[in-house]
């Protein structure tokens, strides 16, 4: 896939949320790269960036063949803190640049009242400096709804390239996706499998049977065909391979529509109501 700033981003990402630090994480990242993933997604709050970096090194893959994403955590919002947070992430990962750096969650009005917008804008200014200094190649957002994004879009010298949101059957986030597409912002899907809750759905099981695929593969293919980039995680080698094997089939229009109409479901936090 293409980002608006001209960089290429691999079509599927390997996520590391809740992947335990240490050998489990190192092995998972190394296995993912061996399978074919070249897009690795992590975050400071996952507390496993050192292990992610070690997995990358053990893979033997050249740094310029990989796309590595991280995120600045909520406690580090603001101009100076964001700069320092990125410096620590680079050190922990053992790399001198990130391909993509995101604001992990927007400051919201529930926590910060009328100061929320200024906090987000101040953090974005730091992201732009990181891009100007070539410490990060692309900058973006995570969990930003339109009303969180619009103040940044209004002032940005460097526009966001990505918004990473919870996206899966039952949570289509149509307003957010519409604004992103209007502004050439790529949408990435975290928890595309609904943290596993969607895998027993009979509609998905029926479609999976027709293609000789698993329900997880059907969901990931649905995400891709909606021009959204899926981020998927596992620590099990078989599932890591299975989740990557989604490029040899295509869902029909009718199958896509059937998945679109699955019941509403949210499994993560709402950006407007989080208090962390």
> Residue 182: what pLDDT?
98
Backbone φ and ψ for 21, nearest 5 degrees, come out as -65, 150
- The pLDDT averaged over each successive group of 10 residues in the chain (276 residues) is 98 97 98 98 98 98 98 98 98 98 98 98 98 98 98 98 98 98 98 96 98 98 98 97 98 98 96 96
Tell me how far apart the terminal alpha carbons of the chain are, to the nearest angstrom.
Answer: 32
Is the entire prediction scored with pTM above 0.85? yes
Report the alpha-carbon distance of residue 271 to residue 9 in Å, rounded: 25
- Given a contact cutoff of 8 angstroms between Cβ atoms, the answer to whether 43 and 73 are in contact is yes
Task: Please tell me the distance from the alpha carbon of residue 264 to that of residue 171, in angstroms, as a whole number.
Answer: 6
Q: Give the Cα separation of 27 and 24 in Å (integer).
A: 5
Instruction: Tell me the domains of the chain and their CATH numbers.
Output: 13-196+227-244 (3.20.20.100)
pLDDT of residue 111: 97
- Residue 46 a catalytic site member: yes
Distance of alpha carbon 230 from alpha carbon 223, whole angstroms: 6
Q: What pLDDT does 175 receive? A: 98
pLDDT at 105: 98
pLDDT, position 72? 98
DSSP three-state, residue 71: strand
* Length of the chain counted residue by residue: 276
From the candidates 7, 37, 46, 97, give the one annotated as an active-site residue. Answer: 46
DSSP 81-143: HHHHHHHHHHHHHT-S-EEEEEE-S---HHHHGGGHHHHHHHHHHHHHHHHHTTSEEEEEEES
Q: Which two tokens stand for residue 65?
A: 């063949």
- pLDDT score of 95: 98
């Amino acid at each position: 896939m293409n980002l608006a700033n001209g960089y290429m981003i691999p079509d599927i990402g390997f996520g590391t949320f809740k992947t335990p630090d240490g050998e489990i994480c190192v092995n998972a990242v190394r296995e993912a790269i061996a399978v074919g993933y070249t897009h690795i997604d992590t975050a400071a709050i996952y507390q496993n960036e050192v292990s992610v970096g070690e997995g990358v090194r053990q893979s033997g893959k050249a740094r310029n063949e990989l796309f590595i994403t991280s995120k600045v955590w909520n406690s580090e919002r603001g101009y100076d803190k964001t700069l320092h947070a990125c410096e620590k992430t680079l050190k922990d990962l053992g790399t001198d640049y990130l391909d993509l750096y995101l604001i992990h969650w927007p400051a919201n009005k529930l926590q910060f009242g009328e100061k929320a917008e200024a906090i987000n804008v101040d953090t974005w200014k730091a992201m732009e400096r990181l891009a100007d200094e070539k410490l990060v190649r692309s900058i973006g957002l995570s969990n930003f709804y339109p009303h969180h994004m619009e103040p940044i879009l209004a002032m940005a010298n460097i526009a966001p390239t990505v918004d990473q949101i919870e996206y899966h059957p039952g949570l289509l986030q149509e307003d957010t996706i519409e604004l992103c597409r209007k502004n050439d912002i790529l949408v990435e899907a975290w928890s595309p499998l609904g943290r596993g809750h969607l895998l027993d759905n009979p509609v998905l099981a029926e479609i999976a049977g027709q293609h000789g695929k698993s329900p997880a593969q059907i969901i990931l293919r649905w995400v891709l065909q909606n021009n959204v980039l899926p981020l998927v995680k596992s620590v099990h080698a078989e599932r890591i391979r299975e989740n990557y094997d989604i490029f040899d089939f295509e869902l029909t229009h009718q199958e896509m529509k059937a998945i679109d109409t699955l019941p509403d479901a949210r499994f993560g936090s709402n950006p407007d109501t989080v208090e962390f």
